[in-house]
């Protein structure tokens, strides 16, 4: 390390260089806090020197003299007596400073020159006291005035310790106009001391001030008045007595309310810290601020005597001294790394202090100071490629060390979060270095990116200029080598895998740019080939550095390699192929949209009875697969799932469009009318017809209204849609077998590619086809029964006299529809469609019986007609054994088979059963008034709603009276 202590007889050119550097640099803002703006830097320095001289008095109160620069040689040669203050010690040129040695600072061999004597020749300070005066740039005249005043104070207060007096107050009383060269100087001095009292007792007091404190109010008035008009400072002066009373009252306050033994006037933060900072700065050579005087041990011994006045302890001293060393390095142009090393060494003591104290005031000062130091260091380290190079790499190590030291103290000793966690989980130094590396690498990469772009623009007129990313790959490779050779060896002290982190970050940065490049192209161009080739080489180089750097790690470098997601050529090509797949899938989806809007679902379009669009979409899927396997890529099996998924989604979309708008059960089943009592002999009122034409029904069945004007939603067209979805589902199995053939012919296919079923199967479309067939089959069933045959079911069956309006007309038309549908739908789905028609017809039959309105009335004798008609309805689906299986018919007819016996049950039994079930359902509260059971839509012989509807359609007086008395039901809607 270069010597901190420079030769004090440096040549003129060296001093000029230092002066220029210092002028170019600026001291950092003090971390200790802001003082009142009325106190200038000179005010603080003068006060600090006064405190210093006062604090260095002997216990007997002897004068604080020093051997003047005008003393004779004989005087200068005399050794100080044992009772002399330490300020009178002679300075020597061979002083071996223990402090310098502890801080790693080498001593100089020569001393810089002191202040000029009256004879014009420069003289050296011969005592430590005089050296301090010179260092603090205090004139001999000012120094003599201070000492005279202190002698007067000592004469009047023999044996009184300096800590038990308020120095500015005592000086105000001792100084007179005659002590100064003129009135202006005297008034300026007086104002300075008054402002100091204001700062120490009012603005920055040792203990917080109560707003109601009368002494503080009185002192504030005196000071403000004196700043406009000088006060009389004589001993018997009334204004001085008032001032003294207020000052002593404020300075003698203690935490327990008693009078303090020591006066507290300069020990409030941040005033005390700023004063102490000035004193510590005096340890730096006045003529060369980059070096510390050899007599620093003696100076520091004297400076520490001010602790009692300033309220400084060893911990505050350590943090202040660390800051002064660091700030001097910054303020002098960052030319002396030894200062930084010394500050870092001092922080080791600060770290010990931080672990042993929980004082919140100290912690606040500590946090502010270290944050300022760390902030300055991180400004350089977060972009260290811009700050350092091979010429100043030594300073980088010092700055890193200081930044890490500050960060560790801040995190480990002031962070509550760190204390809550196990310390072994956090490596502060490593985390910080990791952050610096990644931040600086990203900044350097961005600069190389801009450089590569400029290079590309400059070579635009050349034939076949290199693409930007190809240029960038070369630059990044050079950056990685520079990082490994220059910076990583230094950073490795705190982060064992510094080079690995750097190249991993470079890898990510370049990979992001590469991804953007590839996303902008749709095919492999010459530029793309150049970029991908350069990227492949760069990646191999970066990975090699990472592997070499991590060879001794516990995981063999796996963690670093995991940070480097591959961007080799094969992966890039794969991304381009995915773009190719997306384009073709999107094109197929657009085709589906366009063609299904024109599809008429004509049963005569072909012999097979399915839509031409299905033939075309399957052909396009075949062509897409053929084109895919002809692409010049090495990863057909790997990317096949992407293609299959895209085609699968297209077919699923086709199915969704094919069944869209075809309706479902709820589309066709009409809304039930309100409950009424039956009316014997009344003409049919067209209840269902009116309901269908009502506004609410039109809203609910707006889809159906649309279909009525569109032949593509007729029963034959619905059957074609069913056939189409069935055909697609069947053909997909053929397509999947054809894919196996393609894979066998692919050079890149492996055995596992054939065993992986997901790679060659459609997953969404088959299930969508099956679901679509089910939905369309149900729509056919309910549309036939509730829409196409409504005129014979709703408007005819059992209207008026049941015996004269039986089910035969409905069965006749139903049979015709069944024949037509059976001839249209594919034999593999025929059973399902007929079964859904049967299910809808059974449901419609029960709706006529239970919700047929006041035009339908049944006696108990009519029950046989109903049961015979239902048997005929079942028989039409059984078709003498050629239709649906008997067990399937029985399954769907269970509800009707359970409900029909109610129509032969007598009215009293029905009424009693209804009451009992209602009471069971609603409890005792239903005894006084039977509640009207809600309609669930599910018929059940044990359900109150089902029983009530049988009673509503019962053709006898008992039922009618019960309904009128219990619910006051009307006879008509």
- Kindly state the greatest CA–CA separation across the chain: 154
Q: Residue 20: which residues within 8 A CB-CB, separation 6 or more?
A: 333
| Across 151-156, average pLDDT | 85
Looking at 171-180, 370-379, 573-582, 907-916, which range is the least confident one? 573-582
Assess contact for 172 and 193: CB atoms under 8 A.
yes
Residue 76 within a domain: yes
| Across 286-315, average pLDDT | 91
Per the prediction, the chain carries an average pLDDT of 83
Rg (CA), the chain: 51
**pLDDT grade for 5, boundaries at 50, 70 and 90:** very low
Please state, in angstroms and as integers, the Cα–Cα distance from residue 333 to each residue in 70, 134, 521, 601, following that order.
Answer: 36, 23, 51, 87
Three-state SS string over 116-140 comes to ECCCCCECCCCEHHHHHHHHCCCCH
Q: How far apart are CA 661 and CA 427, in angstroms?
A: 64
The tens digit of pLDDT for each residue in 679-730 reads: 654 433 444 443 344 334 433 343 343 344 456 789 999 999 999 999 999 9
Q: What percent of the chain has pLDDT over 70?
A: 83
The tens digit of pLDDT for each residue in 627-638 reads: 888 876 767 888
Q: Does residue 494 sit in the same domain as residue 553?
A: yes
Q: Does residue 714 sit in the same domain as residue 823?
A: yes
Element containing residue 292 per DSSP (H, E): strand 288-292
Assess contact for 297 and 95: CB atoms under 8 A.
yes
> Which residue among 785, 807, 841 closes a domain?
841
Q: Does residue 654 sit in the same domain as residue 560?
A: no
Q: Does residue 467 surpass a pLDDT of 50?
A: yes
| Residues spanned by the domain of 205 | 175-261
Structure tokens at 183: 């009135």
Which pLDDT does position 101 carry in this prediction?
A: 83
Q: Does residue 235 sit in the same domain as residue 102?
A: no
| HSE-CB of 551 using CA atoms within 13 angstroms | 5
The tens digit of pLDDT for each residue in 238-260 reads: 888 999 999 999 999 888 777 77
> Looking at the 3D structure of the chain, how many domains does it have?
4
Q: Does residue 290 sit in the same domain as residue 241?
A: no
Q: How far apart are CA 168 and CA 192, in angstroms?
A: 9
Residue 644 CB burial class (10 angstroms; 0-12, 13-18, ≥19): buried
The tens digit of pLDDT for each residue in 353-365 reads: 998 988 889 999 9
Q: Does residue 699 sit in the same domain as residue 825?
A: yes
Question: Which has the closest alpha carbon to 740: 629, 630, 624?
Answer: 629
Which pLDDT does position 679 carry in this prediction?
A: 66
CATH number at residue 641: 1.10.357
Assess contact for 497 and 550: CB atoms under 8 A.
yes
Q: What is the DSSP letter of 421?
A: S
Q: How far apart are CA 530 and CA 469, in angstroms?
A: 9
Question: Which has the closest alpha carbon to 546: 566, 560, 567?
Answer: 560
Three-state SS string over 795-831 comes to CCCCCECHHHCCCHHHHHHHHHHHHHHHHHCCHHHHH
Under the phi-then-psi rule, with left for phi > 0, alpha for psi from -120 to 50, and beta for the rest, what region is 76?
A: alpha
Question: Which has the closest alpha carbon to 339: 374, 291, 386?
Answer: 291
φ and ψ at residue 689, rounded to 5 degrees: -65, -45
| Across 313-337, average pLDDT | 92
Residue 803 within a domain: yes
Structure tokens at 221: 């008035």
Which pLDDT does position 421 carry in this prediction?
A: 54
| HSE-CB of 818 using CA atoms within 13 angstroms | 23
Cis peptide before 270 (omega within 30 of 0): yes
Q: Does residue 134 sit in the same domain as residue 213?
A: no
Element containing residue 696 per DSSP (H, E): helix 695-700
Which pLDDT does position 351 carry in this prediction?
A: 92
Assess contact for 697 and 691: CB atoms under 8 A.
yes
φ and ψ at residue 611, rounded to 5 degrees: -75, 145
| Across 774-798, average pLDDT | 94
| Across 316-340, average pLDDT | 91
Which pLDDT does position 522 carry in this prediction?
A: 72
Residue 852 within a domain: no
**pLDDT grade for 464, boundaries at 50, 70 and 90:** low
Residue predicted with more confidence, 715 or 22: 715
Kindly report the CA angle at 431 between 427 and 435, in degrees rounded to 5?
175
Assess contact for 271 and 96: CB atoms under 8 A.
no
**pLDDT grade for 495, boundaries at 50, 70 and 90:** very high
Question: Which has the closest alpha carbon to 944: 955, 959, 957, 931?
Answer: 931
Q: How far apart are CA 429 and CA 435, in angstroms?
A: 10
| Across 544-563, average pLDDT | 85
Structure tokens at 950: 């049988």
Q: Does residue 250 sit in the same domain as residue 289?
A: no
Q: DSSP for 454-491? A: HHHHHTTTSSSPPPHHHHHHHHHHHHHHHIIIIIHHHH
Which pLDDT does position 21 carry in this prediction?
A: 38
> Which residue among 841, 862, 879 closes a domain?
841
Helix/strand/coil for 59: coil
Residue 139 within a domain: yes
The tens digit of pLDDT for each residue in 382-404 reads: 999 999 988 888 889 999 999 99
> In the block, which residue shows the tokens 């001293």?
317
Q: Does residue 822 sit in the same domain as residue 704?
A: yes
Q: 116 pairs with which residues across the strands?
A: 122
Structure tokens at 757: 């079923």
| Across 188-195, average pLDDT | 93
Helix/strand/coil for 524: coil
Residue 25 within a domain: no
Q: Does residue 925 surpass a pLDDT of 80?
A: no
| Across 409-417, average pLDDT | 74
Residue 777 within a domain: yes
The tens digit of pLDDT for each residue in 663-684 reads: 988 899 988 888 888 765 443 3
Q: Does residue 230 sit in the same domain as residue 277?
A: no
Residue 958 within a domain: no
The tens digit of pLDDT for each residue in 80-123 reads: 333 334 555 555 544 457 888 888 776 554 444 444 433 444 45
Which pLDDT does position 19 carry in this prediction?
A: 39
| 248-267: b (≥16 Cβ within 10 Å) or e | bbbbbbeeeeeebebbbbbb
Q: Does residue 595 sit in the same domain as residue 720?
A: yes
| Across 154-160, average pLDDT | 77
| Across 622-630, average pLDDT | 91
The tens digit of pLDDT for each residue in 577-597 reads: 888 899 899 999 999 999 998
> Which residue among 243, 261, 279 closes a domain?
261
Q: How far apart are CA 15 and CA 22, in angstroms?
A: 10
Residue 48 within a domain: yes
Q: The dihedral of CA 740, 746, 751, 755: what is its sign? A: negative
Q: Does residue 701 sit in the same domain as residue 744?
A: yes
Assess contact for 426 and 409: CB atoms under 8 A.
no
Q: 858 pairs with which residues across the strands?
A: 954
Which pLDDT does position 87 carry in this prediction?
A: 58
Q: Does residue 460 surpass a pLDDT of 80?
A: no
Structure tokens at 677: 């009592």
Question: Which has the closest alpha carbon to 69: 144, 145, 149?
Answer: 144
Residue predicted with more confidence, 341 or 577: 341
Long-range contacts of the stretch 918-927 (C-beta < 8 A, 24+): 918/944
């Amino acid at each position: 390390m270069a010597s901190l202590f420079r030769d004090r007889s440096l040549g003129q050119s060296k001093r000029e260089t230092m002066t220029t550097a210092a002028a170019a640099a600026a001291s950092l803002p003090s971390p200790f806090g802001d003082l009142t703006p009325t106190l200038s830097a000179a005010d603080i320095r003068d006060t600090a020197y006064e405190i210093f001289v006062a604090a260095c008095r002997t216990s007997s109160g002897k004068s604080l003299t020093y051997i003047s620069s005008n003393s004779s040689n004989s005087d200068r040669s005399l050794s100080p007596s044992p009772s002399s203050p330490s300020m009178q010690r002679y300075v020597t040129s061979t002083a071996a400073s223990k402090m310098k040695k502890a801080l790693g600072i080498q001593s100089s061999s020569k001393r810089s020159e002191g202040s000029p004597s009256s004879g014009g020749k420069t003289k050296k300070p011969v005592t430590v006291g005089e050296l301090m005066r010179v260092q603090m740039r205090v004139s001999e005249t000012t120094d003599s005035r201070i000492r005279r005043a202190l002698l007067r104070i000592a004469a009047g207060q023999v044996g009184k310790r300096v800590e038990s007096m308020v120095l500015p107050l005592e000086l105000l009383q001792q100084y007179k106009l005659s002590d100064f060269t003129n009135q202006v100087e005297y008034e300026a001095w007086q104002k300075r001391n008054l402002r100091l009292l204001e700062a120490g007792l009012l603005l920055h007091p040792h203990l917080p001030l109560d707003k109601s404190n009368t002494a503080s109010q009185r002192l504030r008035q005196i000071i403000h008045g004196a700043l406009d008009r000088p006060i009389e400072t004589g001993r018997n002066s009334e204004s001085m007595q008032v001032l003294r009373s207020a000052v002593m009252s404020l300075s003698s306050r203690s935490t327990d309310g008693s009078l303090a033994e020591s006066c507290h006037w300069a020990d409030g933060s941040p005033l005390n810290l700023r004063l102490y900072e000035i004193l510590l700065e005096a340890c730096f050579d006045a003529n060369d601020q980059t070096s510390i005087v050899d007599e620093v041990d003696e100076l520091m011994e004297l400076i520490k005597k001010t602790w009692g006045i300033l309220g400084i302890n060893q911990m505050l001293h350590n943090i202040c001294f660390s800051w002064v060393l660091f700030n001097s390095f910054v303020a002098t142009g960052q030319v002396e790394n030894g200062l930084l090393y010394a500050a870092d060494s001092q922080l080791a003591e600060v770290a010990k202090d931080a672990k042993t104290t929980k004082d919140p005031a100290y912690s606040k000062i500590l946090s502010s100071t270290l944050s300022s130091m760390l902030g300055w260091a991180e400004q350089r380290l977060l972009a260290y490629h811009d700050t350092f190079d091979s010429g100043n790499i030594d300073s980088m190590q010092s700055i890193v060390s200081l930044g890490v030291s500050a960060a560790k103290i801040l995190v480990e000793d002031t962070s509550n979060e760190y204390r809550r966690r196990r310390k072994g989980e956090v490596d502060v130094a490593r985390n910080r270095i990791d952050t610096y590396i990644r931040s600086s690498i990203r900044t350097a990469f961005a600069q190389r990116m801009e450089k590569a772009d400029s290079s590309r623009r400059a070579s635009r007129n050349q034939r076949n200029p290199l693409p930007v990313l190809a240029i960038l790959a070369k630059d990044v490779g050079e950056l990685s080598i520079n990082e490994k050779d220059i910076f990583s060896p230094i950073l490795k002290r705190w982060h064992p895998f510094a080079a690995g982190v750097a190249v991993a970050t470079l890898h990510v940065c370049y990979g992001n740019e590469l991804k953007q490049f590839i996303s902008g192209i749709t095919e492999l161009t010459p530029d793309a080939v150049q970029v991908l080739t350069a990227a492949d080489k760069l990646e191999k180089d970066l990975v090699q550095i990472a592997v070499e750097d991590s060879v001794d790690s516990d995981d063999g470098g796996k963690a670093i390699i995991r940070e480097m997601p591959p961007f080799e050529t094969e992966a890039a090509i794969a991304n381009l192929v995915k773009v190719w797949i997306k384009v073709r899938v999107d094109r197929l989806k657009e085709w589906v949209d366009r063609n299904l809007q024109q599809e008429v679902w004509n049963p005569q379009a072909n012999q097979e009875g399915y839509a031409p669009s299905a033939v075309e979409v399957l052909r396009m899927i075949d062509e897409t697969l053929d084109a895919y396997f002809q692409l010049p890529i090495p990863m057909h099996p790997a990317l096949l799932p992407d293609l299959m998924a895209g085609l699968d989604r297209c077919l699923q979309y086709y199915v969704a469009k094919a069944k869209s708008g075809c309706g479902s059960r709820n589309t066709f089943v009409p809304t039930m009318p309100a409950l009424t009592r039956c009316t014997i002999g009344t003409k049919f009122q067209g209840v269902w017809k009116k309901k269908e034409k009502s506004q609410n029904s039109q809203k609910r069945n707006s889809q159906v209204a649309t279909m009525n004007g569109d032949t593509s939603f007729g029963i034959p067209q619905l059957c074609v849609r069913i056939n189409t979805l069935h055909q697609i589902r069947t053909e997909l199995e053929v397509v999947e077998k054809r894919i196996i053939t393609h894979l066998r012919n692919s050079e890149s296919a492996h055995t596992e590619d054939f065993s992986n079923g997901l790679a060659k199967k459609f997953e969404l479309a088959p299930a969508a086809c099956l679901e679509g067939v089910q939905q369309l089959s149900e729509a056919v069933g309910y549309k036939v029964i509730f829409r196409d045959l409504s005129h014979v079911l709703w408007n005819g069956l059992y209207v008026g006299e049941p015996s004269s309006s039986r089910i035969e007309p409905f069965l006749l038309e139903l049979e015709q529809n069944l024949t037509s549908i059976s001839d249209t739908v594919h034999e593999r789905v025929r059973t399902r469609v007929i079964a859904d028609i049967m299910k809808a017809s059974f449901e419609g039959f029960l709706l006529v019986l239970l919700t047929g309105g006041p035009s339908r009335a049944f006696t108990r004798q009519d029950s046989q007609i109903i049961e015979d008609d239902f048997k005929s309805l079942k028989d039409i689906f059984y078709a003498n054994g050629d239709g649906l299986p008997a067990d399937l018919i029985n399954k769907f007819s269970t509800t009707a088979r359970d409900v029909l016996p109610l129509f032969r049950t007598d009215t009293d039994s029905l009424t009693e059963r209804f009451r009992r079930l209602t009471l069971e359902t609603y409890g005792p509260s239903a005894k006084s008034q039977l509640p009207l059971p809600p309609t669930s839509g599910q018929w059940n012989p044990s359900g109150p709603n089902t029983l009530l509807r049988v009673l509503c359609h019962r053709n006898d007086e008992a039922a009618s009276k019960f309904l009128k008395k219990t619910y006051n039901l009307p006879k008509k809607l």
